[in-house]
Amino acid sequence: MATGKINVSVENIFPLIKKFLYSDHEIFLRELISNATDATLKLKHLTSIGEAKVEYGNPQIEVKVDKDNKQILIVDQGIGMTAEEVKKYINEVAFSGAEEFLDKYKDAGKDSGIIGHFGLGFYSAFMVADKVEIITKSFKDEPAVHWTCDGSPEFTLDETQKEERGTEIILHVAEDSTEFLEDAKIRELLTKYNKFMPIPIKFGTKTETLPKPEDAKEDDPAPTQEVDDIINNPNPAWTKKPTGLKEEDYKNFYRELYPMQFEEPLFNIHLNVDYPFNLTGILYFPKLTNDLNVQKDRIQLYQNQVFVTDNVEGIVPEFLTMLRGVIDSPDIPLNVSRSYLQADGAVKKISSYITKKVADKLSSLFKNNREDFEQKWNDIKVVIEYGMLSEEKFFEKADKFALYPTVDGSFFTFEELENKIKDNQTDKDDKLVVLYASDQEAQHSYIEAAKAKGYEVLLLDSPIVSHLMQKLETSKENLSFARVDADHLDNLIKKEDTAISKLSDEEKERLKEDLEKVVQEKGYTIQMEAMDSSASPFIITEPEFMRRMKEMQQTGGGGMFGMGNMPEMYNLIVNTNHELVGEILSTKTAKKRERLINQSLDLARLSKGLLKGEELTNFIARSYDMIK
């Protein structure tokens, strides 16, 4: 038997390990199973090249909980260790790695990013255990050894009896970590971190129903048997070649990733690259609503099939964090702060590659089955629009397949839209004016007025559309977007021929004064406009620029304008050529004039969806009186 002291400058590193990574102490199980997996895969490699003269067989890793003795056991059938290897890999390499890790990050604080991942390995066991034993037998013809350490730099190492090749780690769970002696907790961690490890992981047994014998009676119970409960899938879909997978395989894997997700994904993108970096994975486009809140089921990041995190910002472009699925790469540096991660050259290349793959997939879906792409547009548009705003290279590609739906249910690419409307919707300054509605019901009367003039009206209702329009207006020449209720149509698309007003300047001024007396408390800006006599007498509009800045401020951006707390601003446009407007002006009694103005104004407000509550009740009562 040998005893010794681990050569380390920090007199007692274990309390530091425990304290520093306390918030992450559940990763001990992932680390120990990762080590067991490595040991098993190393054996597989050595047997395949003939260096290990043993039978590889079908090894598995077993996790056991002995609640009575307060122990957790992790048992593998891998390469094992000799006494010399224990001294080297446990007492020297692993320990110096743990010390170096702590030395580097102890002042960084817990918020510095993905620290702890794959940094501590074996010594993470001391986050939950006050004593750890290793019983191991190498594949080489050497005696098995037993190593013990009680959380101080002291250890013992002696020979022991063990028939099977491999390593058994026994954790004596500390009093403050007894939650890990619950089967449910261990199962939860195995499912979270080790669900797709490449070696089968056994945790207990389960009852399996067998087929009934042919001579069994109908009411005889089906026979059962106890079988190993393998909690992981060692060969997940992303590790297979795309050519070997059917659509149903991708859907089944989605259900495996997100068991509580009941909606099918719209489509998937299989990632597979080995130069200039290694990366595999499958991304899914879920059905997305207009709600921009962070999705609960997020993309999961793995390193060689070991779960690392579902916080993938910096690795995946921000607009794609709304997708779901898996990314697996050994080339992403994980023991570093997030700021380092975002500046890392390999990570930037990975991010660009993922963006390109997504753009190419969307482009091929659009070209190969446009009808299907149009049907899915409402479910994917938020991701595409967000990508067009945030990634210039994605914008260039998406400009060819991004769709602009109309209120009549047609879909155009921007180029198609431009060709369709340029003759009719180019104003006198040679600017193409794209009309749009954000709410087909609320803006119905404005839409119909535009359609009556032969104008095309888009239906743009995503929460970031104001930002997108701003982007399009700055990236394309002579283009402006205007919501149909931003002004009357002759002002939205100004042509050379303007209507002549039936009212003189003096009459317009007198009418304006009468209107201001009635509407002064309602905060409208009154505009006198000579329009077609068939157009509405009163129209309420919202100025495009002010309203759009307010919308942009509410969805992030545009804050510099300070529009967030501004009241709604409306213009009251009065058609000086309408018969009713002429009647208001010629009415002799002030009372009747006020009644006509109020009724006309309320009709305009009703059309705009602004007449509510008591004012709506009074308007209805007043209208019935007029009918009588």
- pLDDT for residue 14: 58
The helix/strand/coil state of 267 is strand
Asked if residue 425 has pLDDT above 60, the reply is yes
Asked if residue 203 has pLDDT above 90, the reply is yes
Asked if residue 471 has pLDDT above 50, the reply is yes
Residue whose tokens read 């998937």: 268
- CA dihedral of 366, 372, 378, 383, whole degrees rounded to 10: -40
Task: Out of 157-166, 233-242, 393-402, 555-564, pick the least confident.
Answer: 555-564
Residue 22 one-letter amino acid: Y
List residues bridging with 436 in a β-sheet.
458, 483
Reference 334, options 31, 624, 3, 7; nearest CA is 31
Asked if residue 79 has pLDDT above 50, the reply is yes
User: In which region does residue 583 sit, left (phi positive, over 0), alpha (psi from -120 to 50) or beta (all else)?
Assistant: alpha
- State pLDDT tens for residues 526-583: 888 887 777 788 888 877 777 777 777 766 654 433 444 556 778 888 888 888 888 8
Task: Out of 333-347, 351-365, 457-471, 521-535, pick the least confident.
Answer: 333-347
Q: Averaged over 307-319, what is the pLDDT?
A: 82
- pLDDT for residue 166: 94
Residue 408 CB burial class (10 angstroms; 0-12, 13-18, ≥19): exposed
Q: Averaged over 184-210, what is the pLDDT?
A: 92
Residue 438 one-letter amino acid: S
Please say whether the beta carbons of 10 and 19 come within 8 A: no
- State pLDDT tens for residues 366-390: 999 999 999 999 989 989 999 999 9
Categorize the per-residue pLDDT at 498 as very low, low, confident or very high, splitting at 50, 70 and 90: low
Residue 122 CB burial class (10 angstroms; 0-12, 13-18, ≥19): buried
Residue 93 one-letter amino acid: V
Q: Averaged over 240-257, what is the pLDDT?
A: 94
- pLDDT for residue 559: 42
- pLDDT for residue 358: 93
Residue 310, token pair as written in the block: 């579902």
- pLDDT for residue 178: 94
Cα(594)–Cα(219) distance, integer angstroms? 87
- pLDDT for residue 32: 92
Please say whether the beta carbons of 356 and 268 come within 8 A: no
- pLDDT for residue 109: 45
Going from the C-alpha of 56 to that of each of 12, 166, 202, 230, the distances in angstroms are 39, 11, 18, 19
Distance between alpha carbon 470 and the CA centroid of its chain, in Å?
24
- pLDDT for residue 365: 94
**Pairing state of beta strands 570-575 and 524-529?**
parallel
The most confident of the ranges 272-281, 361-370, 497-506 is: 361-370
- State pLDDT tens for residues 31-71: 899 889 989 999 998 998 888 888 888 999 999 999 999 99
- State the pTM of this model: 0.75
Q: Averaged over 110-129, what is the pLDDT?
A: 59
The most confident of the ranges 434-438, 500-504, 605-609 is: 434-438
> Burial letters for 460-499: b for 16+ Cβ neighbours within 10 Å, e otherwise?
bebbbbbbbbbbbeeeeeebbbbbbbbbbbbbbbeeeeee
* CA-based radius of gyration for the chain: 35
Please say whether the beta carbons of 180 and 25 come within 8 A: no
Reference 334, options 27, 98, 114; nearest CA is 114
Asked if residue 255 has pLDDT above 50, the reply is yes
Task: Out of 17-31, 258-272, 393-407, 442-456, pick the least confident.
Answer: 17-31
Percentage above 70 pLDDT, the chain: 85
The most confident of the ranges 367-371, 444-448, 612-616 is: 367-371
- pLDDT for residue 567: 61
Asked if residue 9 has pLDDT above 70, the reply is no
Categorize the per-residue pLDDT at 114 as very low, low, confident or very high, splitting at 50, 70 and 90: very low
Give the DSSP H/E element, type plus range, for residue 572: strand 570-575
Show the beta-strand stretches assigned E in 258-350: 267-273, 279-285, 300-303, 306-309, 324-328
The helix/strand/coil state of 264 is coil
- pLDDT for residue 342: 55
Give the DSSP H/E element, type plus range, for residue 448: helix 444-452
Cα(114)–Cα(336) distance, integer angstroms? 6
Please say whether the beta carbons of 43 and 56 come within 8 A: yes
Cα(376)–Cα(368) distance, integer angstroms? 14
Categorize the per-residue pLDDT at 221 as very low, low, confident or very high, splitting at 50, 70 and 90: confident
Categorize the per-residue pLDDT at 359 as very low, low, confident or very high, splitting at 50, 70 and 90: very high
Asked if residue 106 has pLDDT above 70, the reply is no
Categorize the per-residue pLDDT at 1 as very low, low, confident or very high, splitting at 50, 70 and 90: low
The long-range contacts involving 504-512, CB below 8 angstroms and separated by at least 24 positions, are: 507/585, 508/576, 510/585, 511/574, 511/576, 511/581, 511/584, 511/585, 512/574
The most confident of the ranges 163-177, 502-516, 536-550 is: 163-177
Mean pLDDT (the chain) is: 83
Q: Averaged over 516-528, what is the pLDDT?
A: 78
Residue 24 CB burial class (10 angstroms; 0-12, 13-18, ≥19): middle
- pLDDT for residue 15: 58
- CA dihedral of 302, 306, 311, 313, whole degrees rounded to 10: -30
Residue whose tokens read 């260039």: 396
Q: How many CA atoms lie within 13 A of 250 on its CB side?
A: 23
Reference 575, options 549, 600, 609, 607; nearest CA is 600
Task: Out of 114-123, 138-147, 357-366, pick the least confident.
Answer: 114-123
Angle at 158 between CA 156 and CA 162, to 5 degrees: 125
Categorize the per-residue pLDDT at 437 as very low, low, confident or very high, splitting at 50, 70 and 90: very high
Q: For residue 616, how many other CB atoms are within 10 A of its CB?
A: 14
Angle at 212 between CA 208 and CA 213, to 5 degrees: 130
Q: Averaged over 611-616, what is the pLDDT?
A: 85
Task: Out of 311-315, 325-329, 353-357, 437-441, pick the least confident.
Answer: 311-315
